[in-house]
Amino acid sequence: MDLQALLDDIARESAPYAAQGKVASYIPALAAVDPSRFGIALATMDGQLYGSGHWRESFSIQSVSKAFSLALVLARDGEALWQRVGREPSGSPFNSLVQLEYEKGIPRNPFINAGALILIDRLLSLTGDSLGTLLAFLRAESGTPAVAVDPDVAASEAAHGHRNAALAHFMASCGNLENPVDLVLDHYFRQCSLTMSCADLAKAGLFLANHGLRADGSRLLTRSEAKRINSIMLTCGTYDAAGDFAYRVGLPGKSGVGGGILAVLPERGVLCVWSPALDPHGNSVAGVEALDRFTTRTGWSVF
């Protein structure tokens, strides 16, 4: 199969779908992003990298980062995490407060904001520096030392972070936070503000397609842990539209409101798409379209 020609076709056919979406507007730094940007990259297990469109341009990875935080916590702490966070789809918006109160401060899953705050809290306890641990991992796996926080996005996240602060304070009131709220939020806001390209993200995610083995051949996760992360991505990785994403794409995926989506092709590679215009759930419209076309054309889904 000519993968380069395939990605070029998919980019050309999918990019126009951005017109159906809207760029995230909850912070000015994201609202200013050009909605016509579109990139797609495929990193394969045999070390090849293909891309089309703006696939080498950095964007705000936002919640795509949560898949990596989950891996770093599970690698160090194993099953203990599941005392503090569930692994069921929430069916509610990613920043919902209502469910958290009903369920006594235990977030439904690690990918809604409350669950991601738990991941950061735990990684802070385990390493002393959640963001630093994540950055070192992403730089090593992507081979890009320039992976960094965008300070303008981070400042904007902090200035508009009242809802995340409410989630963190509520969990602290339930005894489900180990570190000071402000410290957890600071690491969360900066983590959401990491910028990476489709190429960087596709390479950084390869351990998920490779049963937990890192780029240097060392083991981050057991085979079983890598399976579990992929499972949670499939059921909870694309906000409260994970059912629709699974139906259309048939791959584990994690999206972010910057318009990025990372999708895992087990034993084959990792695809990353970026197009900033989102559907009402927070998933990139052209990004989902491109992944749908890719698995339809190649037959490379998990089903």
| Positions in the binding site for ligand GLU (CB under 6 A) | 62-63, 94-95, 113, 157, 164, 192, 256-257, 282
Pair of tokens at residue 56? 């080498």
| CB neighbours of residue 74 within 10 Å | 25
In this complex, which beta carbon is closest to ligand GLU, that of residue 283 or of residue 301? 283
Contact of 255 with 283, CB cutoff 8 Å:
yes
* Closest by CA position to 192, among listed 5, 29, 21: 29
Residue number, 7 or 124, with CB nearest to ligand GLU: 124
HSE (CB half, 13 Å, CA atoms) of 131? 16
Q: How far is the CB of 255 from ligand GLU (least distance, A)?
A: 7
CB of 286 to ligand GLU, least distance (A): 17
- Judged by beta carbon, residue 47 or residue 243, the one nearer ligand GLU is 243
User: Which is closer to ligand GLU, CB of 7 or CB of 118?
Assistant: 118
Give me the least distance between CB of 176 and ligand GLU, in Å please: 18
Paired tokens of 13: 């056919």
Name the one residue in this structure whose structure tokens are 């629709």: 244
User: Cβ 116 to ligand GLU, closest distance in Å?
Assistant: 8
Q: What is the smallest separation between the CB atom of 107 and ligand GLU, expressed in angstroms?
A: 13
CA-closest candidate to residue 62, choices 260, 256, 284, 288: 256
Tell me the residue ranges of DSSP E strands in the chain.
22-23, 39-44, 49-53, 59-60, 148-149, 194-196, 253-255, 260-265, 269-274, 277-278
In the complex with ligand GLU, which residue's Cβ is closer, 113 or 301?
A: 113
Q: Which residues contact 169 (CB under 8 A, 6 or more apart)?
A: 181
| Cβ-based nearer residue to ligand GLU, 13 or 26 | 26
Q: Which residues are catalytic?
A: 63, 66, 188, 239, 257
DSSP letters, 204-263, are HTHHHHTTTB-TTS-BSS-HHHHHHHHHHHHHHTTGGGHHHHHHHH-S-EEE-TTSEEEE
